[in-house]
């Protein structure tokens, strides 16, 4: 915590002048104030680049400024003028760098030179690209492929991701965990069971046609600010937005469009949510069951009085199964139980259900507040239940909308980044490349961590990301990591994950998506899929940060060629020379989604991949959309406790970070300046537990498994958060999350409810 640390309630809206100031500060820090603004004009445009921040959809007719505060920060971060010079590591040993903060490591600038770890010297030393590839290939050939893990963070393009997954399978494994395993995997598991599709059904056009929006567990102002534009337009049409979140997030309260001169000059604000429910963390299933119960009760009354039904009975009869059991469970659960688990009053839930019952077409959107729980998969399916009750899937203006994180995280799965072989057309791959793909299910993120801790995993290759910092159980993971034989990290900037390495270790710097990528056939572009299943191109704009950087496809191909026996059906070098050849290969593997890929991406500049659920074709076992009857309303049965001093910790993102990338030490919307070591607690809990405002405390995980998990140095801050919950930032809190505390079915770490005890610290 710095001396400048200050916490004071923020009175401004999301967006507004604070947003413009924040972007300017960031451009200044990266020495990009003049040129940065010009680059930003080409963000999310057909001939421009796709934002490297979140995966929110790009409109067909972009605005002049199709970017937001945090997209601008992500751009500034990538096109920074700061560089890690060749002799940087000779001056800064691994041991020293471990004492640097996450912010300071990345602030060193762009990585420029491939590096090999010199253990004796204790630092990274430059290595030639070809020597690196040769040695990685030699190491991989000596290992059992099934003891290796190829991680991908959700930023890599469709082209790179396809090559990465293919390389893993040719080499002999499906150990392809990705950031999605910590994120929307609860969606990828839950939605297929409910509606027979792993992705959301909403398109941007639906926002223009909807007349009701239900928003669960997502922080729009910080994490997908461009969504505030369609939300603002919806509010102006009188669409009620019904929000469920333990915290009063400013983006769901009010917004001033920083790109509207009128709003900026007059200070006009749009009130976003019509109703704001501050439910208990983990209370969503109970809240949704309450809404459904209120719908059932309202429906019975309305029909008895000869009024229009509250439930779409015809849709339910024709398109769904499991309704009767679900309705019986809702009716059989007493209101007191629903109130206790959700933390919401019956009257509040009934009022919101009545608004929903009057709507014609509703969207249900959500983020990590639903997925990162022990019951994350059930939470997602419960939201679908609520939508199915009124036929809100597969009609204009309606649908389910997981708001994805990384800009191509959804697309990676589409082109084969998954540990589950059943999600990949293995027969097609076998024919296309003349090999026998591995059939065995691979490791996801949690399983890869288990394998690293128990020694089964011998090598870890990371295509971007900051695995070690993003996963739970930091202490055990950092201790186990150096026992790996081989670690390879492909990255743009230095992070803590690069300071823990195997016996043989490489750090390979790559081009970012905003940079021009010249290959043998000329300038290349890549493609990504957004959260609304739209595929679009991204063209690099600025010169590369350094002349020795290689593109991600070139690095993947380099390692693959050095590892695999030659195979004339795998033209790695030609693929690197011309990415349209990779797109041809993707089209051959996935013809339904990607037929005529190159022609369509050039001609139409983007296309939606087909989604049967949008047409009410349900690719589920029963051929119908399926109601889930919840197994329990206990949010986190594996750590349930009644001890009064235990609070449920929610781990949060600030408005000044992108995952483990910390742009600055503050969180404007929550009134935090100059620090990230803040513990938000309910005022009554603070009084009850004897915690003085501003006191410094430690957090300890309240589970009995023989491991002491503790993080120190948080400043107690009374906050508007429901009793029994507290909140602090990710990734600082990751050492507190037990590896086994994850969602049933999807294994997404349950980062939104970690039972903790608060311990005083003498300062
Ligand atoms: N600027 C910026 N943009 C980002 C990112 C970033 O770090 N910075 N990260 C990207 C990535 S990878 C992702 S996955 C997304 C993440 O975006 P979000 O899905 O918004 O994730 P979080 O910031 O973790 O916040 C989740 C929200 O859920 C609420 N919440 C917590 N627990 C519960 C609960 O039990 N129930 C309910 N209903 N709500 C709850 C929190 O108060 C918070 O508002 O954003 C993406 N975009
Ligand atoms: N406690 C807690 N833990 C969480 C979460 C939480 O809410 N709470 N959220 C989870 C979620 S939703 C996610 S998605 C994960 C995120 O996990 P990751 O995706 O693994 O982490 P990031 O912080 O996004 O990765 C940042 C690093 O990516 C590298 N990078 C950036 N751009 C590029 C590029 O173009 N190419 C390459 N090769 N590298 C690049 C940079 O070196 C940078 O340091 O964390 C998860 N962990
Ligand atoms: Mo994410």
**pLDDT tens profile 242-265:** 999 999 999 999 988 888 888 887
- Our answer on whether the CB atom of 210 is closer than 6 Å to any ligand 2 atom is no
Residues 436 and 186: beta-carbon distance below 8 Å: no
**pLDDT tens profile 418-435:** 999 999 999 999 999 999
- Our answer on whether the CB atom of 551 is closer than 6 Å to any ligand 1 atom is no
Residue 214 has pLDDT above 70, yes or no: yes
- Our answer on whether the CB atom of 539 is closer than 6 Å to any ligand 1 atom is no
Copy the structure tokens of residue 115. 């590096």
Peptide bond into 731 cis (omega under 30): yes
User: Which of 156, 405, 470 best tests ligand 1's pocket when mutated (most atoms within 8 Å of CB)?
Assistant: 405
Contacts of 100 (CB under 8 A, 6+ apart): none
- Our answer on whether the CB atom of 255 is closer than 6 Å to any ligand 1 atom is no
Cα separation of 358 and 369, whole Å? 26
Domains observed in the chain: 8-78 (no CATH), 88-183+416-595 (3.40.50.740), 193-402 (3.40.228.10), 646-760 (2.40.40.20)
Predicted pLDDT of residue 28 = 84
**pLDDT tens profile 595-642:** 999 999 998 778 999 999 999 999 999 999 999 999 888 777 777 778
Give the ligand 1 atom nearest the CA of 373: 35
Copy the structure tokens of residue 518. 């010249």
Backbone φ, ψ for residue 728 (5° rounding): -155, 175
Residue 2 has pLDDT above 70, yes or no: no
Predicted pLDDT of residue 763 = 56
Predicted pLDDT of residue 256 = 86
Task: Name the pLDDT band for 63 (thresholds 50, 70, 90).
Answer: confident
Residue 67 has pLDDT above 80, yes or no: no
User: Which of 477, 552, 660 best tests ligand 2's pocket when mutated (most atoms within 8 Å of CB)?
Assistant: 660
User: Which of 75, 102, 245 best tests ligand 1's pocket when mutated (most atoms within 8 Å of CB)?
Assistant: 245
- Our answer on whether the CB atom of 315 is closer than 6 Å to any ligand 2 atom is no
**pLDDT tens profile 527-552:** 999 998 999 999 999 999 999 999 99
Residue 25 has pLDDT above 60, yes or no: yes
Q: Which ligand is nearest to the CA of 509?
A: 2
Cα separation of 20 and 15, whole Å? 8
What are the distances in angstroms from CA 68 to CA 23, 73, 203?
A: 9, 9, 20
**pLDDT tens profile 72-121:** 889 989 999 999 999 999 999 999 999 999 999 999 999 999 999 999 99
Cβ–Cβ contacts within 10 Å for residue 259, how many? 16
Task: Name the pLDDT band for 8 (thresholds 50, 70, 90).
Answer: confident
- Our answer on whether the CB atom of 606 is closer than 6 Å to any ligand 1 atom is no
Helix crossing, 158-171 with 579-589: angle to 10°? 70
Mapping DSSP onto H, E and C, the string for 128-164 reads: CHHHHHHHHHHHHHHCCHHHEEEEECCCCCHHHHHHH
How far does the centroid of ligand 1 lie from the alpha carbon of residue 652, in Å? 7
Q: Is the C-alpha dihedral spanning 725, 727, 730, 736 positive or negative? A: negative
User: Which of 218, 464, 488, 499 best tests ligand 2's pocket when mutated (most atoms within 8 Å of CB)?
Assistant: 464
Copy the structure tokens of residue 530. 């957004």
- Our answer on whether the CB atom of 270 is closer than 6 Å to any ligand 2 atom is no
Contacts of 581 (CB under 8 A, 6+ apart): 571, 574, 575
Per-residue pLDDT, averaged over 700-721, amounts to 96
Cα separation of 760 and 148, whole Å? 42
Give the ligand 1 atom nearest the CA of 154: 12
Predicted pLDDT of residue 35 = 80
Residues 189 and 377: beta-carbon distance below 8 Å: yes
How far does the centroid of ligand 2 lie from the alpha carbon of residue 254, in Å? 29
Which residue shows structure tokens 């909403």? 202
Residue % of the chain over a pLDDT of 90? 85
Predicted pLDDT of residue 14 = 85
Predicted pLDDT of residue 71 = 87
Per-residue pLDDT, averaged over 149-174, amounts to 98
The protein residue whose alpha carbon is closest to atom 11 in ligand 1 is: 405
- Our answer on whether the CB atom of 22 is closer than 6 Å to any ligand 1 atom is no
Give the ligand 1 atom nearest the CA of 183: 14
Give the ligand 1 atom nearest the CA of 218: 20
Q: Is the C-alpha dihedral spanning 357, 358, 361, 366 positive or negative? A: negative
- Our answer on whether the CB atom of 49 is closer than 6 Å to any ligand 1 atom is no
How far does the centroid of ligand 1 lie from the alpha carbon of residue 218, in Å? 5
The protein residue whose alpha carbon is closest to atom 45 in ligand 2 is: 470
How far does the centroid of ligand 3 lie from the alpha carbon of residue 78, in Å? 19
Predicted pLDDT of residue 721 = 97
How far does the centroid of ligand 3 lie from the alpha carbon of residue 354, in Å? 33
User: Which of 70, 367, 654 best tests ligand 1's pocket when mutated (most atoms within 8 Å of CB)?
Assistant: 367
- Our answer on whether the CB atom of 661 is closer than 6 Å to any ligand 2 atom is yes
pTM value? 0.96
Cα separation of 52 and 146, whole Å? 32
Task: Name the pLDDT band for 57 (thresholds 50, 70, 90).
Answer: confident
Residues 701 and 754: beta-carbon distance below 8 Å: yes
* DSSP helix/strand/coil, 28: helix
How far does the centroid of ligand 3 lie from the alpha carbon of residue 659, in Å? 8
Mean of per-residue pLDDT scores for the chain: 94
The protein residue whose alpha carbon is closest to atom 21 in ligand 2 is: 465
Predicted pLDDT of residue 717 = 97
Predicted pLDDT of residue 1 = 45
Copy the structure tokens of residue 375. 């019951």
The phi-psi region of residue 504 (left if phi > 0; otherwise alpha if psi is between -120 and 50; otherwise beta) is: beta
Cβ–Cβ contacts within 10 Å for residue 518, how many? 14
Cα separation of 708 and 105, whole Å? 28
Cβ–Cβ contacts within 10 Å for residue 656, how many? 25
- Our answer on whether the CB atom of 179 is closer than 6 Å to any ligand 2 atom is yes
Per-residue pLDDT, averaged over 589-595, amounts to 97
- Our answer on whether the CB atom of 734 is closer than 6 Å to any ligand 2 atom is yes
**pLDDT tens profile 350-399:** 999 999 999 999 999 999 999 999 999 999 999 999 999 999 999 999 99
Residue % of the chain over a pLDDT of 70? 99
Residue 735 has pLDDT above 80, yes or no: yes
Among residues 465, 456, 506, which one has the least CA distance to residue 484? 456
- Our answer on whether the CB atom of 249 is closer than 6 Å to any ligand 1 atom is yes
**pLDDT tens profile 456-502:** 999 999 999 999 999 999 999 999 999 999 999 999 999 999 999 99
How far does the centroid of ligand 2 lie from the alpha carbon of residue 60, in Å? 28
DSSP 8-state symbol, 4: T
* DSSP helix/strand/coil, 596: coil
Which residue shows structure tokens 């603004």? 37
Predicted pLDDT of residue 416 = 97
Give the ligand 1 atom nearest the CA of 655: 1
Per-residue pLDDT, averaged over 511-517, amounts to 96
Q: For the chain, how many helices (H) and strands (E)?
A: 31, 32
Give the ligand 1 atom nearest the CA of 366: 19
User: Which of 53, 57, 178, 223 best tests ligand 1's pocket when mutated (most atoms within 8 Å of CB)?
Assistant: 223
Residue 3 has pLDDT above 60, yes or no: no
The protein residue whose alpha carbon is closest to atom 31 in ligand 2 is: 492
Task: Name the pLDDT band for 64 (thresholds 50, 70, 90).
Answer: confident
Cβ–Cβ contacts within 10 Å for residue 632, how many? 12
Cα separation of 754 and 521, whole Å? 52
Give the ligand 1 atom nearest the CA of 409: 12
Report helix, strand and coil shares of the chain as percent, to nearest 5: 40, 20, 40
């Amino acid at each position: 915590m710095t001396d400048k640390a200050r916490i004071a309630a923020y009175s401004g809206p999301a967006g507004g002048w604070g947003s413009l100031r924040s972007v300017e500060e960031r451009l200044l820090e990266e020495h990009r104030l003049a040129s940065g603004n010009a680059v930003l004009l080409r963000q999310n445009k057909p001939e421009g680049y796709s934002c490297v921040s979140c995966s929110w959809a790009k409109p067909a007719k972009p605005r002049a400024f199709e970017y937001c505060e945090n997209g601008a920060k992500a751009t500034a971060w990538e096109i920074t003028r700061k560089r890690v010079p060749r002799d940087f590591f000779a001056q800064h040993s691994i041991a020293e760098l471990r004492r640097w903060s996450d912010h300071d490591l990345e602030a060193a600038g762009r990585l420029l030179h491939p590096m090999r770890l010199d253990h004796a010297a204790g630092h990274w030393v430059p290595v030639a690209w070809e020597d690196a590839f040769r040695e990685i290939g030699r190491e991989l050939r000596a290992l059992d492929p099934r003891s290796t893990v190829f991680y991908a963070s959700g930023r890599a393009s469709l082209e790179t991701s396809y090559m990465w997954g293919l390389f893993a399978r040719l080499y002999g494994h499906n150990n392809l965990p990705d950031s999605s395993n910590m994120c929307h995997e609860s969606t990828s598991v839950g939605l297929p069971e409910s509606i027979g599709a792993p992705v959301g059904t909403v398109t941007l056009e639906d926002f223009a046609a909807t007349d009701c929006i239900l928003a669960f567990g997502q922080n729009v102002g910080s994490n997908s600010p461009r969504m505030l534009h369609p939300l603002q337009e919806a509010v102006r049409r009188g669409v009620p937005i019904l929000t469920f979140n333990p915290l009063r997030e400013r983006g769901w309260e009010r917004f001033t469009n920083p790109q509207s001169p009128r709003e900026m000059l007059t200070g006009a604000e749009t009130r976003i949510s019509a109703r704001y429910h501050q439910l208990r963390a983990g209370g969503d299933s109970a809240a949704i069951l309450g809404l459904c119960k209120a719908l059932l009760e309202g429906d019975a009354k309305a029909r008895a009085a000869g009024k229009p039904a509250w439930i779409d009975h015809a849709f339910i009869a024709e398109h769904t199964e499991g309704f009767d059991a679900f309705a019986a469970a809702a009716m059989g659960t007493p209101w007191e139980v629903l109130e206790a688990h959700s933390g919401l009053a019956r009257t509040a839930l009934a009022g919101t259900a009545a608004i929903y019952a009057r709507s014609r077409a509703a969207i249900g959107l959500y983020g990590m507040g639903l997925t990162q729980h022990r019951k994350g998969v059930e939470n997602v399916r419960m939201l679908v239940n609520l939508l199915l009750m009124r036929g809100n899937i597969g009609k204009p203006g309606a649908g389910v909308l997981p708001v994805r994180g990384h800009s191509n995280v959804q697309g990676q799965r589409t082109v084969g980044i998954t540990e589950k072989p059943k999600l990949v057309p293995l027969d097609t791959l076998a024919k296309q490349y003349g090999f026998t793909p591995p059939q065995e299910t691979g490791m996801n993120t949690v399983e890869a961590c288990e394998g690293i801790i128990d020694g089964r995993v011998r090598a870890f290759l990371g295509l971007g990301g900051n695995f070690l910092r993003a996963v739970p159980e930091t202490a055990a993971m950092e201790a186990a990591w150096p026992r790996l034989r081989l670690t390879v990290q492909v990255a743009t900037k230095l992070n803590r994950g690069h300071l823990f390495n195997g016996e043989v270790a490489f750090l390979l710097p790559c081009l970012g998506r905003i940079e021009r990528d010249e290959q043998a056939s000329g300038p290349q572009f890549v493609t990504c899929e957004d959260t609304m299943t739209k595929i679009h191109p991204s063209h690099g704009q600025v010169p590369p940060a350094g002349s020795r950087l290689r593109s991600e496809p070139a690095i993947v191909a380099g390692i693959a060629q050095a590892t695999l026996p030659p195979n004339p059906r795998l033209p790695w070098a030609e693929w690197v020379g011309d990415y349209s050849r990779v797109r041809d290969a993707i089209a051959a593997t996935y013809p339904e989604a990607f037929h005529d890929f190159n022609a369509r991406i050039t001609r139409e500049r983007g296309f939606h991949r087909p989604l049967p659920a949008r047409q009410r074709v349900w690719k589920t076992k029963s051929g119908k959309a399926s109601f889930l009857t919840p197994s329990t309303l206990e949010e986190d049965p594996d750590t349930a406790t009644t001890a009064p001093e235990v609070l449920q910790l929610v781990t949060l993102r600030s408005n000044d970070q992108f995952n483990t990338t910390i742009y600055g030490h503050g969180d404007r919307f929550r009134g935090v300046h100059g620090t990230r070591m803040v513990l938000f607690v309910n005022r009554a809990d603070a009084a009850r537990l004897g915690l003085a405002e501003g006191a410094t405390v430690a957090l300890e995980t309240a589970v009995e498994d023989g491991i002491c998990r503790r993080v120190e140095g948080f400043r107690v801050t009374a906050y508007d958060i429901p009793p029994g919950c507290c909140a602090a930032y990710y990734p600082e809190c990751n050492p507190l999350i037990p590896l086994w505390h994850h969602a049933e079915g999807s294994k997404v770490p349950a980062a939104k409810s970690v039972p903790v005890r608060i311990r005083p610290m003498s300062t």
